[in-house]
Amino acid sequence: MGETSGNAHAALTRILFGGMAAHLVGGAVRLGLPAALGEAGATPADLARALDARPDTVQRLLRALAALELVEEGSGDRYTLTTAGRLLHPEHPDSLAAAALFYTDPLLLDSWRGLDGSVRDGSVAFDRLHGESFFEHLDRDADRAELFHAAMADRTRGTARVLPDAYDFAPFTTVVDVGGGDGTLLSAVLARHRHLGGVLFDAPGGAARAPAVLERAGVADRCSVVSGDFFRSVPAGDVLLLKSIIHDWDDERAAAILSRCREAVTDGGRLLLVEPMLPEGPDADVSPVPFLSDLNMLVNTGGRERARADFEELCERSGFGLVSVRTLPSPSGFTLLEAAPG
């Protein structure tokens, strides 16, 4: 009994300190620590000089990062990044550096202090706090919009690596990435499938970043960038791709977006949803991340994460029928849902 309670105490304490762990990672990225450690690593004294910080506090920071297994201490007091720590380097191809900054930004986290209110009445804490919606706020906060889109690109690169080969794009001609952000995902699809043309569709703030990304990927000549509002209309195509869009919205608004997609998809076309998927039924090995993301959506955008049955219902309500559902391979971790006009 005593031992069980002791384990529970330790487990709960770890959860309660979780916010500090996230801020430790965000702070290390803001200091530029991962880039300063680089491949070679550094001693606390070298690092302190590089970061213009005190050696004793740098040493304490490194100790805590080592406890999180993001750095490790080698011989001669030299610290190096671990495999997970390297993902915090801004130049790593799978970098999560911008995500580390965004997921510890007050704009996102302040809303969590209103979780109790959101649970009571279903209202969106962000809207109560700021008097406007999350996306309205981004429209007039250029720095946060920059960070948000960089963080979304960080979270999308893993999917961009695997989606082009995980789905058979051969029968199609035009992929419309609805709410495609900076174009990270569409660039990868177009680069892999040279017969395809693309349309990157997003609100003006999102679409503004896409031309440079499409250009860098060498696909700009096969892709137009269109800005607009997906509650009003969506450009036509035979593949409508929506990644991390539906989870931003409640069922009413999600169905409205999918209905606009139903109007835009050509005969024989497909709707591809790439979303986190809530597991159905109890499962001891289940990660808490989709459930935390679900509440993050509740407090910040009024959206939600969904299980397979919820997607099925949403699709049917909007004139689509689910054709296939599969988990995308690592490093994506997202679920690909394919639907056809019903």
Ligand X SMILES: C[S@@+](CC[C@H](N)C(=O)[O-])C[C@H]1O[C@@H](n2cnc3c(N)ncnc32)[C@H](O)[C@@H]1O
Q: Among 182, 163, 178, 24, which residue's Cα sits nearest to residue 103? A: 24
Q: With respect to ligand X, which residue has the nearer C-beta, 88 or 151?
A: 151
Decide if 72 contacts 78 (C-beta within 8 A). Answer: no
With CB under 6 A as the contact rule, which of the stretches 33-41, 73-81, 177-185, 262-270 interacts with ligand X?
177-185
Burial (Cβ within 10 Å: 0-12, 13-18, ≥19) of residue 257: buried
According to DSSP, the β-strands at 237-243 and 79-81 are unpaired
Q: How many CB atoms lie within 10 A of CB 289?
A: 12
| Interface positions, 246-275, toward ligand X (CB under 6 A) | 248
Q: Does 206 bind ligand X (CB under 6 A)?
A: yes
Q: With respect to ligand X, which residue has the nearer C-beta, 206 or 302?
A: 206
Q: Among 190, 188, 187, 171, which residue's Cα sits nearest to residue 270? A: 171
With CB under 6 A as the contact rule, which of the stretches 48-56, 238-246, 264-272, 313-321 interacts with ligand X?
238-246
Burial (Cβ within 10 Å: 0-12, 13-18, ≥19) of residue 222: middle
Q: With respect to ligand X, which residue has the nearer C-beta, 70 or 328?
A: 328
Q: How far apart are CA 260 and CA 322, in angstroms?
A: 17
According to DSSP, the β-strands at 174-178 and 237-243 are parallel
Q: Does 202 bind ligand X (CB under 6 A)?
A: yes
Out of 229, 292, 323, 327, point to the residue binding ligand X (CB under 6 A).
229
Q: Does 203 bind ligand X (CB under 6 A)?
A: yes
Provide the phi-psi class of 316: left if phi over 0, else alpha when psi is between -120 and 50, else beta.
alpha
Q: Does 158 bind ligand X (CB under 6 A)?
A: no
Q: Is 247 one of the annotated active-site residues of the chain?
A: yes
Q: With respect to ligand X, which residue has the nearer C-beta, 114 or 206?
A: 206
Q: With respect to ligand X, which residue has the nearer C-beta, 44 or 296?
A: 296
With CB under 6 A as the contact rule, which of the stretches 8-16, 41-49, 189-197, 224-232 interacts with ligand X?
224-232
Q: How many residues of this chain bind ligand X (CB under 6 A)?
A: 17
Which residues share a beta bridge with 80?
Answer: 72
With CB under 6 A as the contact rule, which of the stretches 90-98, 107-115, 213-221, 226-234 interacts with ligand X?
226-234
Out of 161, 243, 304, 306, point to the residue binding ligand X (CB under 6 A).
243
Q: Does 290 bind ligand X (CB under 6 A)?
A: no
CA-based end-to-end distance of the chain: 57
Q: Does 318 bind ligand X (CB under 6 A)?
A: no
Out of 167, 230, 311, 320, point to the residue binding ligand X (CB under 6 A).
230
Q: How far apart are CA 272 and CA 240, in angstroms?
A: 6
Q: Does 303 bind ligand X (CB under 6 A)?
A: no
Question: Which residues contact ligand X by CB under 6 A?
Answer: 135, 152, 156, 179-181, 202-203, 205-206, 229-231, 243-245, 248
Point out the residues that are catalytic.
Answer: 247
